[in-house]
Amino acid sequence: MVLPECGGANEARNPPSPRVTSPPVPLGVVLFDLDGTLWESPLRIDEVRRELGLPADGRSLLEQIGSLAPEERARALAALQAHEQRALACGHLKPGTHELLHFLRVQGIRTVLVTNNSRQTAAEVLARTALQFDLVRTRDDGPAKPDPRAFLEPLELLGVKTREAAVVGDSHLDLRAAWAAGIGQVVLVAPQAWMRAHFPGKARFYEVATLEEARRVLAALLNSRA
């Protein structure tokens, strides 16, 4: 398979498809985002942001909340948790989720869930869906995306180097965190158009429309490293 690889925010979304040029380093871990990537949630962060009186400036909602005074921050986090809990009832797995995770498990590739959701919200999603990961990282466990430590700390726990990791997400936050962490293999699943203005200019990534396409990209990466 020849992979379509995209460049920075100002480059065409469908450039000519270069061949994979990854170094022959085994892929050891894939780090997954949750909402918008594996889990379709009715939660609308823009609505939460408006309710809290915060601007849409490209920062993550958690970055914005973190800049508030302590009492305001506590109220904002409580409001976000309430929105997450209400959205759980109507959320569902995106097609291809189980198949993608099974494919990686069969290949002996470990998987990590890195989500900006709370630990409670992530646990309820996992309980409902029977998804299994080698490690789960939430906003309650340390810095959240786009902070690179959201990826670096789980990799350190697993004893995996960044060059042995790949990221599958759907947003500029996933791409920014991966870029800052030095993770070169990133797959974005149907990122929204407004996010492109916030992509790191020199970041390279593979853009796909579905998780089945993401599985094919990861399979090609594995074959290129064999």
User: Active-site residues: which are they?
Assistant: 33
Burial 125-134 (b: 16+ CB within 10 A, else e): bbeeeebebe
- Cα 80 from Cα 52, distance rounded (Å): 9
Question: Is 202:223 a contact under the CB 8 Å cutoff?
Answer: no
- Cα 98 from Cα 90, distance rounded (Å): 19
Q: Are strands 110-114 and 92-93 parallel, antiparallel or unpaired?
A: unpaired
DSSP state of 146: T
